[in-house]
Structure 1
Amino acid sequence: MTQHKLIPVIDDPAIVAQVTAAFEAYERALIDNDVAAMNVLFWDAPETVRYGIAEIQHGGAAVRAWRESCAPVPKSRKRHRTVVTTFDRDYATVSTEFTSDATPLVGRQMQTWARLGAPDAAFGGWIIVAAHVSLIDAPDALAAYATLG
């Protein structure tokens, strides 16, 4: 029996644009501490997982409860080297690094996005289904970011 491997379409420009728009909306909500907007862009399901800098949430309800009480991100947050990768029409990852005046550490953020909503929903139905945020000591990265402006 011959088995055919399906090769996904990677980085279709139209899909990359949709995910990028959803990611940018999430980032604006994060900086503005717009909890309602962030909640719309995070999957409200028991399968949702978010690993934060100093906390863990399993399930959309846990993510929402944490958002209600967490401190806002610093307004000085700057992103570096954001990479959006899409797989066919319904799955994507977004990876970015960030710095702020609040810490000398370098932040790393990864999100898994899936199109689970209706195509006519906000941002074409794209939502975050998993996320991970961490901070590391990376003086070489900080020096490189300083030269980027």
Structure 2
Amino acid sequence: MDTELSEASRELTVACDAYEIALVTNDVDTLMDLFWDSPDTVRYGPTENLYGSEEIQAFRQNRPSKGLERKVERREITLLDAITGYCNIEFSRETPAGKRIGRQTQFWRKFPEIGWKVVSAHVSLMAI
């Protein structure tokens, strides 16, 4: 891997780590900072389809802040080039109904001046 891709890989890993911490601690400001502030940003969740950063922010601000803990079982970060990559996570979460397995895919883009941002995300839970 060349130096440019090595640095991009390190930066994207740091961004993905920051996202995970913000997610489980319900740090809405950091979560929103990590999403591209655009009407073209998309986030599909287990129970919602969100189009644009305004809908994503409203969802984040209104969702329950308890029970967000999860265990990352596997994470794969892949760069397509020095400014484009994706992060796939398999996670588990304990619920009153038992253990749930989920999957998360985030497509990231590095923008000049604002850095790495999620431009599209998809979260799903597996039926058990």
Q: TM-score, normalised by structure 2?
A: 0.89
Question: Among 59, 79, 92, which residue is 2:52 paired with?
Answer: 59
Residue 86 of structure 1 is matched in structure 2 by 79
Q: C-alpha separation between the residues in 2 aligned to 1:83 and 1:94? A: 6
The structure that has the greater radius of gyration is 1
Distance 2:13 2:89 in 1: 12
Contact 1:42 1:60 in 2 (8 A): yes
What per-residue deviation string (whole Å, max 9, x for no partner) do you get for residues 42-73 of structure 1? Answer: 11101100000100100011100111101236
Quote the Cα distance in structure 2 between the aligned partners of 1:73 and 1:26. Answer: 17
SS in 1 for 2:8: helix
Matches within 5 A, 1:19-98: 19-72=12-65, 74-98=67-91
Moved over 3 A (4+): none
Distance 2:16 2:123 in 1: 15
Contact residue 50 and residue 132 of structure 1 kept, 8 A: yes
- For normalisation by structure 1, the TM-score amounts to 0.77
What is the match of residue 129 of structure 1?
119
Aligned residues with identical type, % of pairs: 35
1:46–1:58: 8 Å Cα contact kept in structure 2?
Answer: yes
- 1:42–1:129: 8 Å Cα contact kept in structure 2? yes
CA–CA distance in structure 1, aligned partners of residues 88 and 124 of structure 2: 12
Report SS of the residue matched to 2:36.
Answer: coil
Q: Give the total of aligned pairs.
A: 124
Gaps of 5+ in 1: 1-8, 139-149
Gapped regions of structure 2 (runs ≥ 5): none
Deviation at 1:117, TM superposition (A): 4.1
Q: Which moved more, 1:32-41 or 1:98-107?
A: 98-107
Q: In the TM superposition, what is the alpha-carbon distance from 1:35 to its structure 2 partner? A: 0.4
Q: Supply the distance in 2 between the matched residues of 1:84 and 1:76 (Cα, whole angstroms).
A: 21
- Take 1:16 and 1:64, find their aligned partners in 2: how far apart are those partners? 27
Conserved 8 A contact 2:23-2:31: yes
Residue 43 of structure 2 aligns to a residue whose secondary structure is strand
Matched, 1:113 2:92: no
